[in-house]
Amino acid sequence: MSRIKEFNLPDLGEGLTEGEILAWLVKVGDVIELNQPIVEVETAKAAVEIPAKWAGQVRAIFQPEGTTVEVGTPIISIDTDPGAGPIEESTTAAPSSALPTPSAASLAAVEIAPEEGMVEPGLIGGVAPGGRTAVLVGYGPRNAPAKRRPRKGGVPAQPTPTPTSVDHGVVAGNKATPIATNAAPQLHDRRNGGGGRAGGLVLAKPPVRKLAKDLGVDLATLTGSGPLGSITREDVQRAASGTPAAAEPLTVAAPATAAASFGADREQRIPVKGVRKLTAENMSRSAFTAPHVTEFLTVDVTRAMKALDRLRERREWRDVRVSPLLLVAKAVLLAVKRYPMVNSTWAGDEIVVKDYVNLGIAAATERGLIVPNIKDAGRLSLRELADAMTALVQTAKTGKTSPADMSGGTLTITNVGVFGVDTGTPILPPGESAILAFGAVREMPWVHKGKVKPRLVTTLGLSFDHRIIDGELGSKFLRDIGDFLADPEAALLAWT
């Protein structure tokens, strides 16, 4: 049994078929443990760290950072018994899809393939002498008809050279050339705020690192202008020539899309992939499938804000993050108990009403909009709900939200008020029947007890699927949320 194990990109669930390699957490030659995180991959739903399937020593890395890889494609090879002595170079130079042609002796033990058109004997997938199918050693005979790939201009394939340095562009056709290196790249750690700044590791490709070394430029002193804050050749050349870099915006952590790079035509082209691609597909499907209706309600939330202040002053709540969104979430959960049809899904010939609420909270991240949800939020106490919302937000900010946390949502809140927006007409997440937009809380003139006084006011916007929720049900649901926010203490006494 071979001691060299190829680790394929695993199925990350939820129907995801591919992922983008964001960062390698190990390098060639590292000794790793079982379940140690080895690579960070961005899927259409989130960025996740993938653990090692075996313990051992990293022999080769097949896919560079920034490459989009299909599920099942080899991404790394691991020597599961590094203490057993040296191994042949051919066992680590390429993944199984690029192994050399097996010898004639190894082809003698395979089954006969069905007859097909004329193919050249001895080719992989072709007919070997004796009428047998030539296959890669260790992969068994083909049960399907043998087919031969067309040649490209009749030019024989060149042998794969033994790599001696990292090359972030060695991928040809459907075969990946391993990026086995003697000097592995330093990795950018976004959790420590890298991107060439003090206190973090530098993100730069090996050719850029070599150029910086040749020119005597310290990469740690540069601010990258490339994707994810990576340092480019232009950054290094600018530093070597003494040309000052363009003024950087006065923000602590600007999104990767903030630094636009325009070509000669004064246009920028941003690939649509990952979270943004999935969001676009979901929103388009939802907008043109579910008939949307949006209603608005402006509410005096002065009493609610005072209730929050009293809550913060309580000893057991002093270390808890308390925001107006907490009361909005509680209002939604209580209103769902009164109108359970709002928490349902249209399933064609039936409506599926849920007795649980997986409450989604829309979060804007650098990778796009994601909607993680709190499982069975209706069963949580107010304190448990506050802790769950805090954990959800913190995880989303670090980009570590798992696909499982974003699946199965039944009802969603989007807090547009944090951007100073009064309200909006949100689009339903697929499979859900209602979504609430919570607008900014502003001090406004308001008629209170017959007099115009300054009061804290917000506007709610509820979009719902009109196939399930008619105007009466949607209006009552929104009204009850407003009643709770107008006087949460009275509503708690009356509803619970």
Task: List active site positions.
Answer: 466
CA distances from 318 to 309, 313, 388 (A): 11, 6, 16
Q: Which class for 47: exposed (0-12), middle (13-18), buried (19 or more C-beta within 10 A)?
A: buried
C-alpha Rg value of the chain to the nearest Å: 29
How far apart, in whole angstroms, are the C-alpha atoms of residue 39 and residue 221?
26
Helix (H) or strand (E) holding 345: strand 344-346
5: tokens are 């194990």
Pair 343, 433: CB distance under 8 Å: yes
CA distances from 212 to 66, 165, 197 (A): 21, 16, 16
Pair 20, 67: CB distance under 8 Å: yes
Instruction: Supply the angle between the helices 324-338 and 471-486 in degrees, to the nearest 10.
Output: 140
Q: What is the 3-state secondary structure (H, E, C) of 182-250?
A: CCCCCCCCHHHCCCCCCCCCCCECHHHHHHHHHHCCCHHHCCCCCHHHCECHHHHHHHHHCCCCCCCCC
CA distances from 43 to 21, 69, 355 (A): 9, 10, 30
Handedness of CA 205, 206, 212, 215 (dihedral sign): negative
160 DSSP β-pair partners: none
Given phi > 0 = left and psi -120 to 50 = alpha, else beta, which region is 472? alpha
